[in-house]
Amino acid sequence: MMENKYPMSSVPNYKDVLSAHERIKKQILKTPVLSSSSINKITGASLFFKCENFQKVGAFKFRGASNAVLQLSNEQKIKGVATHSSGNHAAALALAAKKSGVKAYVVMPENAPEIKKKAVKSYGAEITFCKPTLEARENTLQELIKQTGAVFIHPYDNAQIVSGQATAAFELLQEYKDLDIVMAPVGGGGLISGTAIAAKAFNSKIKVFAAEPEMADDAYRSFKSGILLPSVNPNTIADGLRTSLSELTFKIISDKVDNILTVSEESIINAMRLIWERMKIIIEASSAVPLAAVLEHPLIFKDKKTGIILSGGNVDLENLPF
């Protein structure tokens, strides 16, 4: 029913990543790569942070959303795009659509935080509220698409989205060509899938790790069992990582990711605080998960050059974990 324009089989390749980068590069920010000598000293690692917290809308999601919107046909542009999300993808899709003069429809649960409603509205999207259940969300979206003819842009089960997210690792590797390891957090899997495609094509010797909260370890369990398992009552502070893998992202992760490292909530908070205090930059909890993996598994990273995608910087300043 929620038909995706891009069938699952169309796993994106490196060419798609290069095309995506060409397509979106005028619209996105080329974010900086930062290092911290004090965090390197604490961890014994050599870490290079790709700062997607500085990306437009404050998250890497703007890359994928831009890549999808910029490939709409003229007919599709007239009808608009739609998604259900209360997070960064909705804001990213809204801004990407606005930049192309395209209407964006976003289905959000009526109890979503005011700050998120405001962000999505500020980018000009039309919000349809629904009851806070998965069923209500999907039904509302289907109804909306039926009425408007808008194209559904899934937050990660979409090859164009994955190719767009891949451009963060692509830029990182253009700047730091000799990384031994590249790591990103895994939630729905769009970012880590794109990261793995970009890194393995750039140099097949690069190890690609996903970092995941123990409290939302569906990717870990799926990866180890070989069966796509859903996220069960995920209750992690890393709210961007509570979603489950899709068929597309599970396939890419199974093929290309070397390992998934899970981390405790305490490590996530410690890592988040370390980045705030030592690097003086604001990241959301989800972005701290890879550094938490370095803190929990120091031997893996000792004397290695590791690139980390800091996925986003959207936090509620009135509700910090420290």
Give catalytic residues, as residue numbers.
61, 86
Quote the least distance from Cβ 38 to its own copies, whole Å: 9
Cβ nearer to its own copies, comparing 115 with 232 = 115
Residues 6+ apart with CB under 8 A from 95: 56, 57, 62, 65, 123
Provide, rounded to whole angstroms, the least separation between the CB of residue 53 and its own copies.
Answer: 5
* Binding residues for its own copies (CB under 8 A): 32, 53-54, 58, 273, 276-277, 279-283, 313, 317-318, 320, 322
CA distance 69 to 71: 5
Query: E strands along 39-172, which residues?
Result: 46-51, 81-84, 104-109, 126-130, 151-152
Question: At its nearest, how many Å lie between its own copies and the CB of residue 181?
Answer: 25
Strands 33-34 and 46-51: antiparallel
Half-sphere exposure of 318 (CA within 13 A, CB side): 3
Helix (H, G, I), strand (E, B) or coil at 107: strand
Task: Name the residue nearer to its own copies (CB basis): 6 or 54.
Answer: 54
> Taking a C-beta distance cutoff of 8 angstroms, is the pair 10, 157 a contact?
no
Q: How many Cβ atoms from other residues are within 10 Å of residue 131's Cβ?
A: 13
Tell me the closest approach of the beta carbon of residue 26 to its own copies, in angstroms: 14
Minimal distance in Å, beta carbon 51 to its own copies? 8
Question: Residue 246 and residue 72: Cα distance in Å, rounded?
Answer: 23
Q: What DSSP letter does each residue of 114-136 carry, written as one string?
A: HHHHHHHHHTTPEEEEE-SSHHH
Q: Which amino acid is at 232?
A: V
